[in-house]
A and B are shown apart, each in its own frame.
Chain A
């Protein structure tokens, strides 16, 4: 049963196709550019397709010169360590807040909620001084440390999940003689996998794309992928068609992630506002 008239259906398709064109048009010249030779780039219009779509010279050059492989590896290391810490700590906090009553519980909750009010950019002035003082600037640990905090959105995602896990499971475990830690680690934590997946994807995209923090702390020897791309792009010596190729390379992992996990991205982001 539907009340969609023919006119509505036509308008819907026209609007959606228009929206897709709006998304795609800025991307087209970039894709063309990555396959053009230097001479071709300077002599043709940006919207003219390349003569040879099999020209992989720019891609090879970008990988060789831009140190992109190393930067990718750095990003992968930072992401893996930070996400493991972040998700584990968030599960722990959410579990304690959901299952136990204790003194100062309200205070703890308020403390986590209030961080929403504090923009990251308004804290780095001093954090940078602290990091500098302990010698962490220009090491991955500065960024990993900053990324390892527990955010309120993550806590809410986990609390929602815990609502669906019966408390009787915990109590049965206690009766069987399991300790608090064992109950959490072996029984509850595995049941929280769906929420963990959502959090890993949403935060993973955010961290992979983050520029502000890595640019501040890692802009010399150790670089993340976004920073390497920025340095590459910022140096006037790099021809633009090479930059275009480097960018296409940077888009590949995120597009692969997306193809496999589209459903989680839509549901996860939507879920994170239903707090």
Chain B
């Protein structure tokens, strides 16, 4: 059965339609894979019973000729999405035992389209992290290893369970969320594709909030086409999310023509940062060459405020987080550590319930919003955000899409950066600008480095122009050639 887990979503869709195999068979293969891969720690909660029930329903639908767009496709759900009656932790101790009585809009959209949920995926606590090491449920292990080494590497973060499960063929696709790069960076370092859609494209309703003005859900899958298939189902206008945008979701697959002749691809010079590893620079050049070969026009552009993006991000995101996380107080749900009065109940619960990185960001956020500091930090960061968005607008006068590396390096070792938050934060250097400007960004697998680790290229699009990203992304994907699958060293 192992080859069923190697299929892409598009291939599985054909197979199910042609009755080459059943949804039950496809789901069983993935449930088995999940069970055998517990060493990766990709899942916080496995839901085989739910998966089997959904697969049975899918087989009925297939038999009756009423197949839905994601019919019978086994997926993992990042544990930031509230799933009705299924434990939802956000990777945090503080949500102990929390089973939401509601379903997030994105997962509801997917289940309505026939997706099969294998379980809830591990992640950095409250999506704060770039390595999945801040999870209360322990780190996720990247299925990829350096050539000749058995050192455990991180799968990126915060959607590390998503990236690892898709790369290791445990799930055909997974949901992720991306606040500063949390879909794209883990996709890049595990050799899969992942897109952060335009802010407002997917509803945030029912997704545990990290930084509301930056958070956006998106798909992670092994091919660009699979991401397109998933996003079509995930995206919707949602009256329950005031920041969700009411514009039609196009047929992304139809836009994937393979033709990028005459397309103008911008190369932002500011992304050539100090100390960028040679292999990243080389990868970037390779990407430029692939697109040029496919008929695109390469244009040099400037995004002059790029250097302010990371500091602006690390003010805005913690500020919003400090407020968003105030509701975890031990009063209504999740963990409660009693105290002699209400204040000590708060203090005890939050001290025990939040990990160090979450506490650090709450403190940063509280500080930058405090009287006397608000103007110097928060207001200034918001102004920078406007300038960064303007940079993109001006660049898009000269080009249709931007090409950059996704991350400044390949997967790093577990524990390597945990004591150096700044170095950890630098992982987001190419991705945060996109969140600050609310634009879509796609990470495409672009081959392996000399150590045999995957690297990714990022395409940044105009607002709501995900279609162009998929079209160009597929061109890169084809040029780079199929990413090999990691050795299944984890299987028991």
Please determine whether chains A and B interact with each other in the same assembly: no
Chain B residues in the interface with A (C-beta under 8 A): none
Chain A residues in the interface with B (C-beta under 8 A): none
